[in-house]
Chain A
Amino acid sequence: ETGVTQTPRHLVMGMTNKKSLKCEQHLGHNAMYWYKQSAKKPLELMFVYSLEERVENNSVPSRFSPECPNSSHLFLHLHTLQPEDSALYLCASSQDLPGQPGNTIYFGEGSWLTVV
């Protein structure tokens, strides 16, 4: 139990569906992240939020839409995805943004997404 909870753990959706991934952190952290992990590829940073403001968006297609209503919750809204978007989506949090002394990123267990 890392203090970062993701739901659902598994999701199968059609290309015309709209779904959302949810992340909640119970650590009192100020920064939250979405990463994508595809088979045999390194972790890809998608979005970074600090104090509910988006601070980084790494050229992610608009079919992925993040939302951070408060510092404890982060959503990833999914719309008209493609089969190549099938991957493990990892949420993470840290006390502050990377670079602050003593900062560490903690991951959730991930949401397995399959687009059919």
Chain B
Amino acid sequence: GQQLNQSPQSMFIQEGEDVSMNCTSSSIFNTWLWYKQDPGEGPVLLIALYKAGELTSNGRLTAQFGITRKDSFLNISASIPSDVGIYFCAGHTNAGKSTFGDGTTLTVKP
């Protein structure tokens, strides 16, 4: 089955720094989604990408759908303490399968 490699596994950064995380796969996806999960809550959708090469922003967040359709990255600019949480990528295939990455745990030090 499809596997997503999400990296890094965890990040410890200073408030104000920029953050970058990515997901790669050997499989092709036709949709990439990025979620954030706060402790004790369900994942909340941040950005959805539907076309290869697409670059989409949501406030301080920017995500791109890789041109090969096998990868995606998420950038957070000027991080703030409330950015703390676990970030997940998810890929959907034409065959109707969805796969989630293992998550990137972000810690922001004030």
User: Could you tell me which A residues sit within 8 Å of B by CB distance?
Assistant: 2, 4, 6, 42-43, 45, 88, 90, 92, 97-110, 112
Q: Give the shortest distance, in Å, between B6 (CB) and chain A (any CB).
A: 9
- Top 7 A-B pairs ranked by shortest CB distance? A98-B92, A107-B42, A98-B98, A99-B96, A97-B96, A110-B42, A43-B100
| B103 proximity list for chain A (CB < 8 A) | 42
* A105, A106, A109: most-surrounded residue (chain B CB, <10 A): A105
Instruction: Let me know if A90 and B43 touch, CB within 8 A.
Output: yes
> Which B residues, 40 to 63, have Cβ-Cβ distances below 8 Å to chain A?
40-45, 48, 50
How far is B98's CA from A41's CA once the two chains are assembled, in angstroms?
A: 17
Q: Are A108 and B31 in contact (CB-based, < 8 A)?
A: no
How many chain-B residues does the 8 Å CB contact rule pick out? 25
**What residues of chain B have their CB less than 8 Å away from a CB belonging to chain A?**
30-31, 33, 35, 40-45, 48, 50, 88, 90, 92-98, 100-103
